[in-house]
Structures are given as C-alpha cells and as structure tokens.
Structure 1
Amino acid sequence: MGIAGPARPARVALAAVAGVATVVLAAPALAHVQVNADKPQAGARDVTLTFTGEAESNRAGINSERVVLPPAITPEQVRLAKAPFGWRLSHNPDGFTVAGPALRVGQDAVFAVTVAQLPSDATELPFKTLETYGDGRVDRWIEIPEAGKPAPANPAPVLKLKPATPVPTSASPTPTSAAAAPSSAAPNAIHRPTGSDNATVTNLLWILLIAVAVAAAAIGASVLRRRRR
C-alpha cells in the first residue's frame, strides 16, 4: 500500500500530459505561403520567385494561388516559370493567379514565376496571397508583419532583399595626347631646314645664275652688232 499511494498521482499526471498532446496533435498545423528568390537583391533582373503554399485542408486539395504584387512590380513583368501539371498563369489588375486541377489532399502548391526586375530601392517585398481549395475554401495570407508587433494570424509572404549594387560613376575625361602635347604647327615653332630644303635652294641659285649668264650674253651680242654697224 506504501507504493500504491504515490502511484495514483503519477498516473493522473501522465494522463493529463497525454491528453494535452492529443489535443495539440489533433489541431491543424498553422499553414502559410512562403516566397524565395534566386537573386534576392534590389534592382536584380530576371529574378525567379518560388512560392510554396502549404496545404491545410484535410478535405480538399489546393487549386488556385492568387498573388497580389507590390506596387513597384506590374503584372506584365511576370511570367510563369514552373507550376503543377495543368496549372496556368493569368494576369490580374493587381497581380496574377496560378491555377489548375486541384492537387491531392495534403499536397503543397509549389510554383515559380520570373520577374523582369525588382525595384532598386526596396528592402523587402510583400506578396499577399489568396489560397483556394477545390471545395471553395479560401485561406487569405494577406497580413503584413510589422517589426515590434506580434506575428499576425495570417501573415503574407515577405521577400527580404539585399541592397542594390552601387552603380560606378564615370571618371573625369583625361586629356588626350593631342591636347596635352604642343602642336607641331604652333606659330612660334622654329623650322629647321632639311636636306630637301637645301637642294631646293641650290637649284634656285643655279637657275638664277644661268638666267643672268644668258641675259649677259644677249646684251653682249647686241653691243657687238651695234659696233659693227
């Protein structure tokens, strides 16, 4: 009897723990939508965003994911990269929808889109998502988490971004060789005669001497003719 006394409270405690565990395991898991990027950097181009919508219903499969884009991204910038078999992308005024035949119960909806360019001045991008099941159930993951506040019950997927790569500034133009070096045709440049210049002067002198000799001979002949007369 000395052992039976304390064993009764122990059995009660174990039964209570088992009951709590049963309640926790029976409660539906908190589902949400996640988003990841292959290039999570502000200003990046041709970025692939992969969304994972966790299945929460135990009665129907997911058949639609409607995503509301941040204001800096337009629907025309988005194209489908990957989706479950038979799913297609359609553009909405504020985003896009990827939908098709309902997935099997419990299967997550995984799809990817390519965005032409992310905004260059953003640090994070929220993607509000409406997840629809084949039986008409809609889970609205549209609440934006805020720093310093408790996590919302239905958080929207948020993509964190690295800062944009700084754009290098163009260096000031350096003076060209033509501008830096003095011009050979400057007015105060000294011209030094070359060999061709000397030959030209010599030829001119010979021509001048021959012309003088011819003129002198003509004059002399004229004087002789006058004397003879």
Structure 2
Amino acid sequence: MIAALTARQVVRRLGGPAVVDRVDLSVRPGQVTALIGPNGAGKSVLLDCLSGIARPDGGQVLLGDRDITRAPCHRRSRLGLARTFQQVAVFPDLTVAQNVLVGAEQHGATGPAAQRQVAGLLRLLGLAGLAEYPAGGLPLGVLRLVELARALVGGPRVLLVDEVSVGLDAGQVAWVAQVLAAVAREGAGVLLVEHDLALVGRLAAYAYVLDTGRVLVHGPIDQVLADPRVRSLW
C-alpha cells in the first residue's frame, strides 16, 4: 500500500542546528498516525515542511507517489492536503461560515455545492448556530473547531492536525475524536500532533516520537506509549 504522505530524511534549519533532523515518517491512508514529543521537539516545524509553509533544507516529501517537496501550499491543498495550526489561523473579520467557505474554495468547490458542504460541516461540529458570527470575537475552542471545519470541507486525502484539543472542553474533545476517527475510516490519512496522550492512545494506530528534531522511536501506539524512553520525556 502506498502511504498517503511520506517524509524522507527531511531536514529543516532555522539559522543554526537542524530543528528537524533527517526525519523519516509515513502516514497510511485510513489511519490516524500520531506525532508526539516534548515542547520544542520540532513537531510543528515538521508540519510546516509537510504542508508547504516552510521548504525543507534537505529530504523529500511525497503525497501518495507525487513529489511535493517544492510545491506551494495552494498546490498541496488542491492535491488533497489540509492542515490545522497550533496557533489558530482564521480570518477574524469573516463570519464562521465564510471562514469555512474559504476552505471549500481552496479545493475548487463553489456555488450551492460549496454552501451545502459548509453547512454540513458546521452542523457536524456544532457550529451551525454561530454561522453568521464574526470569527474574531469567538473563544479559542470555537475557533479550533472552525479551523477544523475549514480543513475538512474539501474532503482531504491527508489531514495534518496540530494540537486540536487545546481550548476545547472534555465534551468537545470527545466529539472531535469521533470526527477524526470517522475521517480516517473514510480513507484519509490523519497525522495528529497532540500533547493529550489519552486522546492519542484512543485515536492513533501508530506513533512517531520526536525529540530534539529526531525520531526517537516509532511503532504501534501501545508499544510506543509503554516505551521507557518515551515515558521519560513527560
């Protein structure tokens, strides 16, 4: 089976030593893969390289069997790669519905079809009652759901999720977990960056642990979470 997303020996430097150091990683279709590690391990920088926000200083990124190492963000989006961010990135002057519509348009959907997709996702994530509210005045937890809806509206082949649980209450976390599990069941590859290890253990089938920019260990989720090297990081 061809991986949905592959990183091969990816390196990223920020003016000094490598923040991401020769990372190999594979995200399978139909599965949630976790990327965990302590603060400063390089997880979000790696996501930047995978999503096109940053260009790797070395290595290769593949979407399916297509080399996207140098492809811009909008090209990756059209090819089926979507992402949420650790620092929420929404358009504060647009309404909730308009923010999600931006995601639909990035994937080529317009008109009534796009409107239906947006409305369906707002209902799915409990945001229908906030559809016409400006995003700028809403709490962090709601904005994370808005960003997730925008990422999902195009039906991505690969979804990169960065710290989605931050700002959510327990009920919202449980619901988002169900949504991400459903996305994977429908065939997408999901790469989940998350500090909530209970959520990781519930969702992920496989995990990579990043420490000081390098993969410390990887394998089936139960084995990884039980590894003494991993437990010592928290």
> Shorter-chain TM-score category?
under 0.3
Normalized against structure 1, the TM-score is what? 0.23
Which structure has the larger Rg?
1
Kindly indicate which of the two structures has a greater share of residues assigned to helix.
2
Normalized against structure 2, the TM-score is what? 0.23
Choose between structure 1 and 2 for higher RCO, CA contacts under 8 A separated by at least 6 residues: 2
